[in-house]
Amino acid sequence: MSTGFSLFVTIGTIGSMIGFFLLLYLNRSIDNPGQTTGHDYDGIQELDNPLPAWWFWWFILTIVFAAGYLLYYPGLGNFGGISEWTSVGQLEEAQDAADRKFGPLYAQYRDKSLAELAADPAARNMGRRIFASNCTVCHGANAQGSFGFPNLTDSEWIWGSEDEDIKVTLLHGRMAAMPAWGDALGEAGVEQVTEYVLQLSGREGVDADLAAQGQSQYAMFCIACHGPEGKGNKIFGAPDLTNDIWLYGGSRLRIAHVLKHGRNGVMPAFGERLGEDKVHILAGYVKSLSAEQ
């Protein structure tokens, strides 16, 4: 935090503690003990007496404890405390302890191929737990994805299905970029290319004239990534346009929207978070989910 805000927090905290102490100390004795305050209800009178000594000293002890706590732990602005404790440091210690305890369990699968892991029930169970903790928020508990998040149970692999392809995706993440072609194509061009893409996917009821016009536009703007036959390219993460699998929907409106405005998908990198051994087991589990198996 900034120096000014740090001073504000520090002065406010210490000032409050001093104020509490003075409030207690200055009210320890009164001029007329035993006198009523004037509050009387149901035969019960409130007397103007000081706090009992044990109560007073317990309050003082809480202030002393707070002072010691704030000296030992962070709490006064940017002052880190003499213990130099941080929540990040505690997390890292817990992670290191877990790695020492469970690391050998993951390491035993290090030299197995993904196909062997996919066939091993124990490895699949480990992978399933890792998947549930890290991947279900996007791909779903059943791994079938949703709008903008790939289905991992079919045979479509945008970035490739080889063992190394899957591990690279998990370790380092992926950045997908579909350019927006609306300005370059215009409304008519977007409509034409949409029709051609539908024709590539084998859709019935395609307007042949529009598709023919869209083919030349496709050759100019789309062929570099999706290829001359529309089969895609894993190097760019360009999907195959000749099947009926659509990450962002396969209706005319959805396809036209993608062509016009583009898409930018992000797959987070899990290498630093999970480590190579866990990623290897997770990759085997993901491999086992695919219909390609």
Which residues are bridge partners to 176 per DSSP?
Answer: 265
Q: What pLDDT digit, counting tens, does each position of 4-32 carry?
A: 999 999 999 999 999 999 998 888 777 66
In tens, the pLDDT along 276-285 reads: 999 999 999 9
Instruction: Tell me the C-alpha to C-alpha distance, in Å, between residue 270 and each of 37, 126, 142, 275.
Output: 67, 16, 20, 8
**Which pLDDT score is estimated for 99?**
86
Model confidence at 293, pLDDT cuts 50, 70, 90, reads: low
Please list, in sequence order, all residues whose beta carbon lies within 8 angstroms of the beta carbon of residue 255, skipping any fewer than 6 positions away. Answer: 194, 197, 198, 246, 249
Weakest-pLDDT range from 39-43, 84-88, 182-186: 39-43
For 67, list phi and psi in degrees, rounded to 5: -65, -45
Query: What is the per-residue pLDDT for 49?
Result: 79
10 Å CB burial of residue 21 (0-12, 13-18, 19+) is middle
Q: Give the pLDDT confidence score for residue 31 in this predicted structure.
A: 67
Question: pLDDT, tens digit, for every residue of 129-161?
Answer: 999 999 999 999 999 999 999 999 999 999 999
pLDDT in tens, 218-277: 999 999 999 999 999 999 999 999 999 999 999 999 999 999 999 999 999 999 999 999
Between CA 67 and CA 11 the distance in angstroms is 13
The string of pLDDT tens digits covering residues 67-103 is 999 999 999 999 989 999 999 999 999 988 988 888 8
CA atoms within 13 A on the CB side of 263: 19
Whole-number CA gyration radius for the chain: 33
Q: What is the identity of the amino acid at 111?
A: D
Long-range residue pairs from 111-117, CB within 8 A, at least 24 positions apart, any chain: 112/284, 113/163, 114/163, 114/166, 114/167, 114/280, 114/283, 114/284, 114/287, 115/163, 115/284, 115/287, 116/284, 117/280, 117/281, 117/283, 117/284, 117/285, 117/287, 117/288
In 3D space, the residue among 110, 259, 111, 128 whose CA is nearest the CA of residue 182 turns out to be 259
Residue 233 pLDDT: 94
Confidence (pLDDT) at 292? 59
Structural domains of the chain sorted by starting position, each given as residue range(s) with its CATH number in brackets: 3-72 (no CATH), 88-173+269-289 (1.10.760.10), 177-267 (1.10.760.10)
Instruction: Give tens-digit pLDDT for 110-137.
Output: 999 999 999 999 999 999 999 999 999 9
Over residues 203-216, the pLDDT tens digits come to 999 999 999 999 99
Please provide the DSSP assignment of 122-135 as one string: HHHHHHHHHHHHHT
Q: What is the pLDDT of residue 53?
A: 87
Please enumerate in sequence order all residues whose Cβ is within 8 A of that of 52, keeping only pairs 6 or more positions apart, or say none: none
